[in-house]
Structure 1
Amino acid sequence: MAELTHIAAPEGVAPASGYDHVVWGAGRFVAVSGQIALDEHGALVGAGDPAAQARQVFANLRRCLAAAGATFDDVVKLTYFVTDVAHLPAVREARDEALGAGRRLPASSAVQVAALVRPDLLLEIEAFAIV
């Protein structure tokens, strides 16, 4: 695990809720492509259910990070793409379950999009890590 530095609110920037504005570290950079709520067989998990889809997405992210020798402790940035910002509470709950309560959170961006690659997908999440 890389030693990461977190800055919750740089001088002159309003504090954030649920993420740190700046995170950095030294090590090997790992980029994980946007993950969607498909299981290992390519079947959708959680049709119409943002909480179930978010849990599957974080499970997929965990597997992708592990393939690179990383964990959620190494993640410096998460980007959330949602079809409706009303899904964000479910995404945050799944994130907190996956990353562990009380830990420092990575930098984050959340974007509402008109559509994802399939109409039955409600969210997609990508991750950047330093190992």
Structure 2
Amino acid sequence: MAVQLHSPQGMMRPVPYHHVAVATGTRHVHVAGQIGRDEAGQPVASDLRGQISQALRNTARGLAGGGASFSDVVRLTFYVTDWSPDLIDDFMAGIDDVAAELGVPQPLPPASLIGVDRLFEPDVLVEVEATAVLD
């Protein structure tokens, strides 16, 4: 297996992701920020939960285009507009809604959630970036 995920003793718990990914391989797949729109660029949802789910579906398509899947992901970065801790339930529900469908590991690979004022258009609430390593 090219990617091993773990959380060493002494690191904060519980968290919905692993703290460490160790990967071997020479092919790297980097998926640019994906948002909650379909292939025609039309919004799929207006809420955070729905946009996270669609952004992850788009991320899965990007990974597949590089010959990868979520099992090869070593890093996820989520950018969320107007973030506040009270949004965590909707955020996690959006992930949970598609985790089985897309093969998203639970807990997640190492991940960062970064709150931003805005993304490139006003209706975009979330953007997801992924990095994968293949043998």
Q: Shorter-chain TM-score: what band?
A: 0.7 to 0.9
CA–CA distance in 1 between the matches of 2:96 and 2:133?
Answer: 20
Q: How big is the shift at 1:12?
A: 4.2
Q: How big is the shift at 1:21?
A: 0.7
Q: Per the alignment, in what secondary structure is the counterpart of residue 39 of structure 2?
A: coil
For 1:26, the equivalent position in structure 2 comes to 24
Q: How big is the shift at 1:90?
A: 2.6
CA–CA distance in 2 between the matches of 1:102 and 1:63?
Answer: 16
CA–CA distance in 1 between the matches of 2:119 and 2:105?
Answer: 31
1:129 aligned partner, one-letter code: A
Q: How big is the shift at 1:16?
A: 4.4
Task: Give TM-score, length-normalised by structure 1.
Answer: 0.86
Q: Structure 1 residues 97, 127: CA separation in 2 closer, same or farther (over 3 Å shift)?
A: same
For 2:120, the equivalent position in structure 1 comes to 117
Note the residue ranges of structure 1 that are not aligned, 5 or more in a row: none
Are the counterparts in 2 of residues 73 and 99 from structure 1 also a CA contact under 8 Å? no
Task: Give TM-score, length-normalised by structure 2.
Answer: 0.83
Are the counterparts in 2 of residues 50 and 91 from structure 1 also a CA contact under 8 Å? yes
For 1:70, the equivalent position in structure 2 comes to 68
CA–CA distance in 2 between the matches of 1:36 and 1:113?
Answer: 14
Same amino acid, percent of matched pairs? 36
Q: Tell me which of 110, 116, 133 is aligned to 1:107.
A: 110
Deviates more, 1:99-108 or 1:23-32: 99-108
CA RMSD of aligned residues (A): 1.9
Q: Per the alignment, in what secondary structure is the counterpart of residue 55 of structure 1?
A: helix
CA–CA distance in 1 between the matches of 2:48 and 2:40?
Answer: 20
Q: Per the alignment, in what secondary structure is the counterpart of residue 53 of structure 1?
A: helix
For 1:88, the equivalent position in structure 2 comes to 88
Q: Per the alignment, in what secondary structure is the counterpart of residue 57 of structure 1?
A: helix
Q: How big is the shift at 1:102?
A: 6.8
CA–CA distance in 2 between the matches of 1:69 and 1:46?
Answer: 28
CA–CA distance in 2 between the matches of 1:102 and 1:64?
Answer: 17
Equivalences, count: 128
Mapped pair 1:42 → 2:38? no
Deviations 1:70-122 (A, max 9, x none): 11111111101101234433332232343337745200000110000011111
Note the residue ranges of structure 2 that are not aligned, 5 or more in a row: none
